[in-house]
Amino acid sequence: MTQGCILEFKNISKNYGKKCIIKNLNLNIFHNEVIGLLGVNGAGKTTTIKLMLGLETPSAGEIKLFGKNPTNPAARIHIGATPQNIEFPEGIKTSEILKFIHSHYPNPFPIQEMIEKFGLNTFLEHKATKLSGGQKRRLALALAFIGNPKIVFLDEPTTGLDVEARKLLWEVIKEYKNKGKTIFLTTHYLEEIEQIATRILFLQKCEIIADESVEGIQKIANSKLAKVSFECGTQCEFDNFNSIDSITKNKTNYILTTKNSDQLICELVNNNIPFSNLQIKKENLESAFLNLSKGE
């Protein structure tokens, strides 16, 4: 196994019937990474996490979690996870579930610390199946971290969380990373991931089409289109321009798309275009992601 690697996919393929979900994927996850896995609905993010957790078997290839098969209890003792759809057993209270999961790990965090971190105080004596969606999510997150595992897998962890709980979660993830631990998460909230991820993966059509640092992804975003809009009372001619990808005109309002907004502004000035109300809108990470998804 590659040094420092805690999870390894070797030529992994996964099909459901004839449907290909993952094809020939090679992937290494190392200590102290915060990895965000992104992809459109149905891209295969949950399936990927299930393969990592040993909850699904690959159709081909080999997965090593801490050098072992992910179903091996000796590997699983180092992981924590929260699934996308949370279900708890009937009749058990929040406090009881916390104690039960806590007892399975050799070096867990104090239960009280998890209660405070994830704001569980007000529903400790409530039956877990009766909790609201957001409360269930908070409990599931506390359970993912409680064992002080080396890697935590979070499948769309912010689903159902209010703004405050989301902030809390990102703080917990940051803190956890600072302890040298690894987090692997799927999410649709790209702007949030931008703040915490050390690496971003995009899954599309059975393949990881981008495996980049946040800076790398931002470069992709920056090299993508910007929209430059302005008003101009006279008819503009753009024949001398080298920087324009497309032109849209609506009465006196022009919208130009460009991969180089700086050059476009210079060309506007050099060609004495009498523009006003100039606005430049660069693509954000989210639209870069969507364009990657579209294969642009």
Which residues in this chain contact ligand ATP in the complex, by CB under 6 A? 16, 21, 39, 41-47, 84
Place of tokens 């971290």: 145
If you write DSSP's letter for every residue of 224-279 in order, what string do you get? S-EEEEEE-SS----TT-SSEEEEEEETTEEEEEES-HHHHHHHHHHTT---EEEE
Task: Name the residue among 230, 223, 235, 244 with its Cα closest to residue 278.
Answer: 230
Question: What secondary structure, in 3-state letters, does 41-83 show?
Answer: CCCCHHHHHHHHCCCCCCCEEEEEECCECCCCHHHHCCEEEEC
Task: Name the residue among 264, 229, 270 with its Cα closest to residue 249.
Answer: 229
Provide, rounded to whole angstroms, the least separation between the CB of residue 188 and ligand ATP. Answer: 7
Provide, rounded to whole angstroms, the least separation between the CB of residue 36 and ligand ATP. Answer: 13
> What is the Cα–Cα distance from 120 to 131, expressed in whole angstroms?
11
Which CB, 45 or 138, lies closer to ligand ATP?
Answer: 45
**Cβ count within 10 A of residue 1:** 13
Which CB, 74 or 290, lies closer to ligand ATP?
Answer: 290
Provide, rounded to whole angstroms, the least separation between the CB of residue 207 and ligand ATP. Answer: 13
- ∠ Cα 198 39 226 (to 5°): 75
Provide, rounded to whole angstroms, the least separation between the CB of residue 217 and ligand ATP. Answer: 18
> What is the Cα–Cα distance from 236 to 227, expressed in whole angstroms?
17
> What is the Cα–Cα distance from 148 to 108, expressed in whole angstroms?
5
Which CB, 40 or 124, lies closer to ligand ATP?
Answer: 40
Provide, rounded to whole angstroms, the least separation between the CB of residue 32 and ligand ATP. Answer: 25
Task: Name the residue among 7, 49, 9, 33 with its Cα closest to residue 182.
Answer: 33
Which CB, 15 or 72, lies closer to ligand ATP?
Answer: 15
> What is the Cα–Cα distance from 189 to 158, expressed in whole angstroms?
8
**Cβ count within 10 A of residue 80:** 25
Provide, rounded to whole angstroms, the least separation between the CB of residue 162 and ligand ATP. Answer: 21
Which CB, 43 or 101, lies closer to ligand ATP?
Answer: 43
Which CB, 52 or 120, lies closer to ligand ATP?
Answer: 52
Which CB, 16 or 100, lies closer to ligand ATP?
Answer: 16
Which CB, 115 or 203, lies closer to ligand ATP?
Answer: 203
Provide, rounded to whole angstroms, the least separation between the CB of residue 194 and ligand ATP. Answer: 19
Provide, rounded to whole angstroms, the least separation between the CB of residue 19 and ligand ATP. Answer: 6
